[in-house]
Amino acid sequence: MKKFSIIAGLCCTVAIAYFASMSFQVTAPPPVVNHFQDDDNLSIITMDKAALGKGAAVGKLAKSLNNPRLNNVGEDVEYLNDADPGNFIKTNAAKGHIAFGKSTKKYEGAFKPQLLDTKSAQNVAEKFLQDNDLMPKNKSELKLLHAGGLRAASADDGGKVIDKMQTFTYGRVINGVPVSGNGSRIVVNMGDKGEVLGVSKKWKEFETSKSQKVQKAELKSQPEAEAEFGKLVNFNFGKGASPKVKTIHKMYYDGGGNYIQPAYFFETTVTVTDEKGKKSEQPFLGVVSMLKNSPEAINPDPAEVAKIAKSVRTAQEGVDPNTQKKANERAGNENK
């Protein structure tokens, strides 16, 4: 029997990290892409809090899985087939997330699916979203970001490659401005003869009337944002890490929370040194809010991160934090 291994696949992620403190220097002014065009059309967008729940989409998706018995947990729904985990439905109303999947067992081994051409497959994917109440309320916000797929190669047949699936990744555009982050994403996986194998949707709706215009006085300057990004780099790569900014984009950020807000996106490479003193460059994407008073933190406060880390260490050591604090105070008094 031939053995196959997955060698390529589409993965669309955004690396969002934490920051500490350090200055940030740029040897030459990096190119800036301002999708807002001017400072007059920036807004803070408040998302609907009950964007997803036990709606029509869940019922329609359940039919494609032969009407399984769903587990209702408050506003959320969860179904997982123990015999085949590939069959599942999950929703998270608070995060505007719904995920659905069908079994892919037949795609294992030497099975070669009949995939549609890219345009036809995209049309089928979008029709599926429409027919199953998964299409965004405002269709003009939906934008195809990438059309890719999944391949497998034979381990004992000269590395013969088989195209197994097609994947379409969609993002969001608001008034011509792209939205990036962990929210505002729809991914559709397709297989044999246009069969939709899975959908992951992280998307909250909003009312235009709830958008709050941002005044220029509320915005951070680019040097202020660069300084904050320097702290982010330092926290992730250590003191002395050398970031090289390739491009700065000014566009919207959706972290899957309660707001979409304008932000600086830093596309960089960071020079790091390993234990043997060897230097290498690593790509790093960092995000900093454009707002002096962000309605929702993009990067957690470093002091809070340190506090949580300390609590975790104390718990692992089996020490009561209050007892430890008193012991430290006593030790401090004795050393005076």
Looking at the structure, tell me whether residues 177 and 270 fall in a common domain. no
Predicted pLDDT at 8: 36
Among 209, 227, 242, residue at a domain's last position? 209
Within this chain, do residues 188 and 58 fall inside the same structural domain, yes or no? yes
Residue 305: pLDDT band with limits 50, 70, 90? low
> In the prediction, which pLDDT does 155 show?
60
| Residue range 170-226, pLDDT digits in tens | 999 999 999 999 899 999 999 999 999 999 999 999 987 778 999 999 999 999 999
* Domains of the chain: total: 3
* Measured distance CA(28)–CA(18) in Å, rounded: 25
CA distance 225 to 26: 12
pLDDT at 308: 66
Q: What is the average pLDDT across 76-83?
A: 84
pTM score over 0.85: no
* Shared domain check, 275 and 219: yes
Q: How many residues does the chain have?
A: 336
- Whether residue 52 contacts residue 267, with contact meaning beta carbons closer than 8 Å, is answered with no
Largest CA distance in the chain: 78
Task: Domain of residue 238: give its range.
Answer: 212-303
**What's the confidence (pLDDT) of residue 334?**
46
163 token code pair: 């195209």
Nearest to 19 by CA among 307, 313, 224, 303: 303
Average pLDDT in the chain: 81
Q: What is the band of 310 on the pLDDT scale with cuts at 50, 70, 90?
A: low
Of 106 and 29, the structure prediction assigns the larger pLDDT to 106
- Give the end of a domain, one of 209, 225, 251: 209
Report pLDDT for 202.
94
Q: How far apart are CA 201 and CA 188, in angstroms?
A: 9
User: Tell me, what's the pLDDT at 302?
Assistant: 60
The answer to whether position 25 is within a domain reads no
Residues 173 and 226 in one domain: no
Q: Are residues 151 and 298 both part of a single domain?
A: no
2 pLDDT higher than 90: no
Grade residue 70 by pLDDT with cuts at 50, 70 and 90.
confident
Q: Is the same domain home to 297 and 198?
A: no
Range of weakest confidence among 91-95, 238-242, 293-297: 238-242
Q: Quick check: is 33 in a domain?
A: no
Is residue 3 over pLDDT 80?
no
Q: Give a yes or no: residue 320 inside a domain.
A: yes
User: If we measure between CA atoms, which residue out of 154, 157, 162 comes closest to residue 191?
Assistant: 162
Tokens of 168: 């379409």
Residues 202, 220, single domain; the answer is no
Q: Give me the pLDDT at residue 193, please.
A: 96
Lowest pLDDT segment from 3-7, 66-70, 310-314: 3-7
Is the same domain home to 143 and 264? Answer: no
Domain-located, residue 38: no
Q: Which two tokens stand for residue 178?
A: 């792209």
* Judgement on whether residues 64 and 138 belong to the same structural domain of the protein: yes
Same domain, 282 and 262: yes
**Whether residue 89 is found in the same domain as residue 130:** yes
* Boundary-marking domain end, from 181, 209, 237: 209
Residues 76 and 117 in one domain: yes
